[in-house]
C-alpha cells in the first residue's frame, strides 16, 4: 500500500484528483468506480475544476457508482443519484449512458444487481475504484460482518451508518435513512486494477489505522484492501495521526504522485 499524507482535506482531495486525472489520461476508455459521502465532495470539486481548466476529459470514461439506498427514487434528495448529479455529472462531459448507478427503487433488485455486474464485466471490470471509508470500516455498503458477500448485493445498514448518512438529504433524521442499500460487493471492488482510498478528518484516524495496519478481517471490510496489489491511500494529516510511524506494509510519502515500483 502506498500512503500519501497531505496537510489538509483540500490538498488530499487534490492529490486524489491528480490520480484520477492520471487514469483518465492513461487509459483509453477508463472504467471508474465512484464513491459518495462528504469525503468525496472536495474530490469532485477538484475534478470539476480540472475539467473546467481543460485538464480532465471524461468523454471516454464509464462510471459505476458503488452503492445506492434501497427504496429511494433517483430524485430523492438523499439518493446517491442526486448526489452524483449535483457534485459531478452536471459539471463534466460524461454522457448519461456512460454513468451507471444501481436503481434503489426497482422491484426486482436481484435482476438489477445481476444486470449491474454483467454490464461491468462486459466492460472489463473497474480500472480504478475510488473509495471512502465508513467509521466502522465499511467500503461502499459492505458493512462489518462475520462474512462478506463478494458480488453486488442488498445490504442491511448498521444503525451507525444510517446516522452518519442522515445529514445528506434526510434532514438529520436518521430514521428516514433507508435500512438497506444495494452495494457493489467486496470481490467486485477488489477486482479493480487500482484502488484509491480517500479519508480525511480526525474522526477517521482510528479506523484508518485499523484498516491499514490491523488484521485483515471482515469485521473491518476496508482491511481487505491490504491484500490488493495496487492501493493508494490518500489521507490528510488528521486522518493519519494514528498510523504507526514505520510499518513494513505501508510506503508513506508526503505529497505528490506516488512513485511507481
Ligand atoms: C457512506 C458510503 C460510503 C462512503 C462512506 C464514508 O455510507 N456508502 O461509500 O465511503 O459512507 O462517508 P463520508 O465520506 O461521508 O464519511
Q: For the chain (length 261 residues), average pLDDT per consecutive 10?
A: 97 98 97 98 98 98 98 97 98 97 96 97 98 97 97 95 94 96 98 98 98 98 98 98 85 55 32
Kindly report the protein residue whose alpha carbon is nearest to atom 6 of ligand 1.
134
Cell numbers linked to 19: 490520480
Backbone phi, then psi, for 197, in 5-degree steps? -110, 120
Strand 231-236 relative to strand 2-6, pairing: parallel
Please list, in sequence order, all residues whose beta carbon lies within 8 angstroms of the beta carbon of residue 248, skipping any fewer than 6 positions away: none
DSSP 3-state assignment of 86?
A: helix
Q: Is 142 a catalytic residue?
A: no
Quick check: 98 and 62 in contact, CB under 8 A?
Answer: yes
- Tell me, what's the pLDDT at 116? 97
3-state DSSP call for residue 63?
Answer: strand
How confident is the model at residue 260, as a pLDDT? Answer: 35
Tell me, using a 6 A CB cutoff, whether residue 221 lines ligand 1. no
Q: Does residue 140's CB lie within 6 angstroms of at least one atom of ligand 1? A: yes
Say what the pLDDT of residue 253 is.
Answer: 72
Which long-range CB contacts under 8 A does 93-100 form with residues at least 24 apart?
A: 93/51, 93/57, 93/58, 93/59, 94/58, 94/59, 94/61, 94/63, 95/59, 98/61, 98/62, 98/63, 99/62, 99/63, 99/65, 100/62, 100/63, 100/64, 100/65
Note whether 100 and 65 are within 8 A (CB): yes
* Cell of residue 186, nine digits: 467486496
Report the distance separating Cα 251 and Cα 35, nearest Å. 24
CA–CA separation, 106 and 168 (whole Å)? 22
- DSSP letter at 90 equals T
Centre of ligand 1 to C-alpha 132, Å, is 6
- For the stretch 121-142, what's the b/e string if a residue is b when 16 or more beta carbons lie within 10 angstroms of its beta carbon? eeeebbbbbbbbbbebbbbbbb
Residue 161 Cβ inside 6 Å of ligand 1? The answer reads: yes
Residues 6+ apart with CB under 8 A from 261: none
Amino acid at each position: 500500500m502506498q500512503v500519501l499524507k497531505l496537510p489538509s482535506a483540500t490538498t488530499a482531495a487534490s492529490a486524489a484528483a491528480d490520480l484520477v486525472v492520471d487514469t483518465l489520461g492513461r487509459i483509453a476508455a477508463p472504467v471508474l468506480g465512484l464513491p459518495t459521502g462528504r469525503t468525496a465532495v472536495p474530490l469532485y470539486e477538484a475534478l470539476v475544476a480540472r475539467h473546467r481548466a481543460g485538464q480532465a476529459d471524461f468523454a471516454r470514461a464509464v462510471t459505476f457508482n458503488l452503492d445506492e439506498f434501497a427504496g429511494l427514487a433517483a430524485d430523492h434528495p438523499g439518493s446517491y443519484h442526486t448526489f452524483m448529479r449535483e457534485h459531478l455529472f452536471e459539471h463534466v462531459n460524461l454522457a448519461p449512458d456512460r454513468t451507471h448507478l444501481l436503481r434503489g427503487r426497482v422491484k426486482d433488485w436481484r435482476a438489477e444487481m445481476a444486470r449491474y455486474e454483467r454490464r461491468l464485466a462486459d466492460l472489463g471490470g473497474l480500472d480504478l475504484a475510488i473509495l471512502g471509508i465508513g467509521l466502522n470500516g465499511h467500503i461502499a455498503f459492505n458493512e462489518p460482518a462475520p462474512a462478506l458477500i463478494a458480488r453486488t448485493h442488498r445490504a442491511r445498514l448498521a444503525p451507525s451508518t444510517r446516522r452518519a448518512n442522515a445529514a445528506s438529504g434526510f434532514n438529520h433524521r436518521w430514521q428516514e435513512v433507508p435500512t438497506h442499500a444495494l452495494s457493489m460487493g467486496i470481490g467486485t471492488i477488489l477486482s479493480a486494477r487500482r484502488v484509491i482510498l480517500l479519508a480525511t478528518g480526525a474522526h477517521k484516524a482510528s479506523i484508518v489505522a485499523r484498516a491499514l495496519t490491523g488484521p485483515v478481517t471482515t469485521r473491518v471490510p476496508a482491511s481487505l484492501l491490504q491484500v490488493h496489489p495496487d492501493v493508494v491511500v490518500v489521507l490528510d494529516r488528521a486522518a493519519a495521526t494514528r498510523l504507526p510511524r514505520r510499518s513494513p506494509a505501508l510506503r508513506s510519502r508526503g505529497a505528490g504522485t506516488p512513485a511507481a515500483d
